[in-house]
A and B are shown apart, each in its own frame.
Chain A
Amino acid sequence: MRRISLCLTLVLCAFACAAGAARANTTMQLSASHISFYYDQFLVEGDGNVRVTTTDGFTVTGDSFSMDLKLNRFLVAGHVTLQYGSERVTGAAISDFLDFNRIYFVPVTSEPDRWTFLNGDLTHPVKGRVMPGDVFAFPQLPKTPSITASAATIGTKNFIHFFGATGYLAGVGVPLGSYVVNFSSNQYFAQNSLTGANFDATFNVAGNYNSLSAVHVRYDTFNHAYLAFEQHFVGSHDYAILSANPLTRSQRYFNFIGYEKLGSRFQVQTFTQFFIDQGIFFQALPSSETQTTYVNMTEAFPHSYLTLATNFTNYNTLGPGSYTNPAPVCTVPSATPANPHPKPVCVANPAGSLSHPTQAQLTWTSFQNRILKLPLFEQTYFGYGFNHDSVGQQYASPIAVNGLQAFGGQCVFVKSQPAVPCPTTYTTIYNQVVGITAFLPSVKIGGDNPYKDYYFNAVFNKQRQYNSLPHHVDTTTTTLSLSRQFSRPVNSYLSYQVQNTGDYYLQGGYQPCTFIQPNPPQPPIPCPSSLQSFTGVSTLRTLTLGINYDPNPDFNASLVGRHHDDFPIPEPNVFPLPALNVLGQPLYNNYLGQPPNDLTGDVRFHILPHMLIDVQRTYYFNFGNIRWSPAFIVQVLPQ
């Protein structure tokens, strides 16, 4: 545990230090009697006792201030004083075009004049130089500001930090105190280490060119309302993101995401999640702790790239005797002549899973290459890797371990004795993967009328994975689709997809359908939906019809109907529905036992110029008494 903490700290420091080394920009300190910010236009306006100090080395005071954060220029007007060093001049207005290194000034000595300062040289004004026509123009402002404040720090082209801020939502003021609006073009500020939520109000309480600290007020259907915290450290080629989510619940996830690009062809990224269950106020000893870490590295070549993906997980970092899992562990001892029909032995789970699955996969992937001059592309890949001790989180040792790594293993238990772990036959399995993807991006069928033409495309993927067990898995995916734009707002597509997975053992493997459990004797179980005859091959066939209605940029509606014709045939209550994420959506798109028919409607519309609402729900046609998806999925999406 200490080693892990030390490693994490070192990695964090390395990323943070690298991130902090980015180039500085012009920073302005603004104070005024009243400061307003208009989010729609990224305008900052100030009136009364305006004072602006810049890192370029001058101070301006005046009556009014106006800055367009996107155009990166500002204006101070009315009783202006410009002070640089020991020099001080007065005037009517000053306008600084920061991107162009031009300062336009209207001094008033005996009479007005026009001066232009070039390239930051405030000691040698160019007098009388003609100025751009809009250099002193005030913008037209919306009626209501988004934020008001008494002071602000502006990091040009990056952020504005308000002090004494009040935010306005539908005209109602909400005290924010310290608040940062980040408008950097650096996309790493968007790195999000939080899980999804139905609603997320983000309060950026502090920040600068290289960092951003945010408190999130969130709601999801699992945790309900809660707080979360996220910290960004961002550079031009690297970032480090940390978060605690949910912060105000007993079960917390601490996440760390790091990225570093070294040179132009190599990158390393890492993700670590640490889970702890320790009471809302950290008041109790932790009852559960897990950790998982991913480290991925990519090296780019002229027409391909090489990726090393690794993962290391500890299901229980607390050790034996500390894991709270009320579920008892039950096993059936082997039959003996003295006890031909042994009964299951159940013991309390003492430790939870002490497994530490480790995986590494090295994969070479080609670019997408066009085949001859046909509208056909291919992409190939192959890889080599291993998987160690991957027994599954849901299994608490010691029990009979399912899965390939226990293939052939036998558990031995003695009644009234502490259970011992099952011997695992294959602790490490090596694999080799080779695959090819061919696809036809788009072939037009028809004439030149865009509302009558059809477009056809197809995707084919074949992959084989050899394992050291010995054993191999073939996966084949074929997708065909036909689409048409019926009018400007209406388009539709029809698609058919077949996903086939073949799981082939050289010996043993899946039980035949004729298998009858001999011990203890039970009546033969009928083969429900051919499940018992499962031979390691599954086929998922999906026919999809989608219709989109997109009348204007403020409204979208879509309807997607799917029909699945799968093997094994879905049987209610045999294959459970997949777990839902916090939004209420299934975690996986295609899975064994999915209802044969589903219809999903999705409507999106703007409620504010920069805010969208997305409402979605799925109907399952009463499969296994399931009619609707558990709830409407409603998301508020700031734009």
Chain B
Amino acid sequence: MMVRRIVATLAALLTIALIAAAPQTIAVTGQLLAYQDGFVFFTTGDGFRAAPGIAIRGINGGPTTLVPAPRVWARAHFDPTGTITELDLSPNALPQEGSFGDVARFAIALSSPVPNPDLQAYAATPAPGTTLTAVQHFSGRPVLVTFIVQVPPNTAFNASVYITTDASGWNPQAIPMDRTDALHYEITRRLNSGTIFRYLYDRGSFQSQESAENGLQRTPRQIVVTDADVRVVRDTVYSWNDTLNGTFNQQPNAAPTPYNPAPFPNLPHGLPTPGVPGRPPA
């Protein structure tokens, strides 16, 4: 009985030792950047040596018509020496398997790594006494941005107000707004964080675009959408390009003005036009 136990224990240890001694493979998934000159490159920029007889298969292990090329996704099998022995290809994005951190030691580069001062802002541990510059991070997630604008007091009460933006090729009617009271319009839009949003307000055409406080055409407003659940942007429009104080309203049917010759063009027959001593045609 005792002998049996000893033999069984030895067999188990031997099995473990054999397994441990067997060559290990590491599988990592990623998107290919290139496959050339005996190397496989991933979009991390890392290049790995490909085995001379590298197996190219489909993602399920079967044959495939895909060839390793940029944009193609692949599961790479590394042998213990860091050589890729097998590539399983897929045209679609693959779930993450393994980590490139595990195979970073196999990446081949002739030159030794040199720190990049451009990336110092991301250094893990700043030197004592170092003044760090704030770094703005953007996740790209949608943010509800509400624009509230105060319009000039001489804006016609039922005027339509829009936002025009470079994101829509400066279409003057890109984003219609809703009037919320006598002086304010409002609209909410979903913008991804990190968006640099250049915009101006107008009344439906470039001619009716807002002008600066000093009466000149203004440069576009700009906001950077930061990570937040909601954001409110409040602006003031001082004047519109096409409405100047003191100029005349010459529209037909308007209340009479000196230069409106016919405030009442459809008067009944025989009724004199106000302000004209002569008589209209019969």
Contact = CB atoms under 8 A, between A and B. Distances in A.
B275 interface: yes
A43 to B, nearest CB: 13
A278 interface: no
A332 B45 CA distance: 92
A221 interface: no
A196 B266 CA distance: 28
Nearest to B155: A459
Nearest to B68: A78
Given A63-B69, A78-B33, A79-B34, A501 B93 contact: no
B166 A411 contact: no
B52 to A, nearest CB: 16
A114 B246 contact: no
Contacts of A116: 116
A433 B258 CA distance: 13
B181 A592 contact: no
A263 B190 CA distance: 38
B216 A265 contact: yes
24 contacts: A92-B33, A111-B47, A113-B111, A127-B111, A128-B109, A128-B111, A129-B116, A183-B166, A190-B206, A269-B217, A363-B246, A387-B248, A400-B276, A400-B278, A400-B280, A401-B261, A403-B275, A405-B261, A439-B183, A491-B180, A536-B256, A542-B157, A588-B251, A612-B176
A470 to B, nearest CB: 11
Contacts of A588: 251, 253-254
A106 interface: yes
B259 A403 contact: yes
A112 B108 contact: yes
Interface in B232-279: 238-239, 244-248, 251-268, 270-279
A604 B189 CA distance: 13
Interface residues of A, number: 173
Interface in A99-117: 100, 102, 104, 106, 108-114, 116
A228 interface: no
A517 B270 contact: yes
B16 to A, nearest CB: 38
Interface in A434-463: 435, 437, 439, 441-442, 455, 457-459, 461, 463
A360 to B, nearest CB: 11
Contacts of B267: 531, 574
A93 B41 contact: yes
Contact of A192 (B182, B205, B212, B254): B205
A589 B157 contact: yes
Given A131-B116, A383-B246, A298 B216 contact: yes
Interface in B156-192: 156-159, 164, 166-176, 178-184, 186-190
B110 A479 contact: no
A113 B37 CA distance: 13
Given A77-B34, A300-B216, A589-B157, 10 more contacts: A64-B69, A77-B70, A93-B33, A106-B41, A108-B39, A190-B164, A359-B259, A361-B248, A383-B246, A553-B190
A179 interface: no
Contacts of B171: 190, 637-639
A261 interface: yes
Contacts of B168: 610, 638-639
Contact of B47 (A112, A181, A183, A515): A112
Contacts of A469: 258
A29 interface: no
Nearest to B159: A589
Given A331-B281, A394-B265, A459-B183, A136 B43 contact: yes
A439 B181 contact: no
Interface stretch (A19-27, A148-156, A504-512): A504-512
Contacts of B282: 330, 332, 344
A493 B181 contact: yes
Given A400-B276, A525-B268, A589-B159, A309 B247 contact: yes
A558 interface: yes
Nearest to A128: B111
A112 B253 contact: no
A634 interface: no
Interface string A522-559: 10010010011010101010101010101001001010
Given A78-B34, A136-B45, A433-B246, A532 B271 contact: yes
Contacts of B188: 550, 553
A78 B244 contact: no
B262 A402 contact: yes
B183 A441 contact: yes
Contacts of A493: 179-182
Contacts of A540: 255
Contacts of B37: 108
A146 interface: no
Given A131-B116, A441-B150, A550-B188, A114 B109 contact: yes
B134 to A, nearest CB: 19
B220 interface: yes
Contact of A305 (B115, B214, B271, B273): B214
B interface, how many residues as a size bin?
A: 35 or more
B259 to A, nearest CB: 5
Contacts of B266: 573-576
B64 interface: no
B198 interface: yes
A293 to B, nearest CB: 15
B59 interface: no
Interface string A266-304: 010101000000000000000000000000101011000
Given A480-B182, A639-B174, A131 B109 contact: no
Nearest to A554: B190
Contacts of A190: 164, 169-172, 206
Contact of B272 (A106, A383, A517, A612): A517
Contacts of A578: 251-253
B153 interface: yes
Nearest to B36: A79
Contacts of A394: 252, 262, 265
A574 B264 contact: yes
B244 A589 contact: no
Interface string B117-156: 0110000000000000000000000001000001001101
B253 A593 contact: yes
A300 B217 CA distance: 11
B281 A399 contact: yes
A86 interface: no
Contacts of B254: 588, 591-592
A587 interface: yes
Contacts of A400: 276, 278-281
A120 interface: no
Interface in A5-54: 47
A475 B45 CA distance: 71
A351 to B, nearest CB: 17
Contacts of B154: 437, 461
B275 A510 contact: yes
A223 interface: no
B60 interface: no
B96 interface: no
A390 interface: yes
A593 B279 CA distance: 22
A296 B214 CA distance: 15
B193 to A, nearest CB: 14
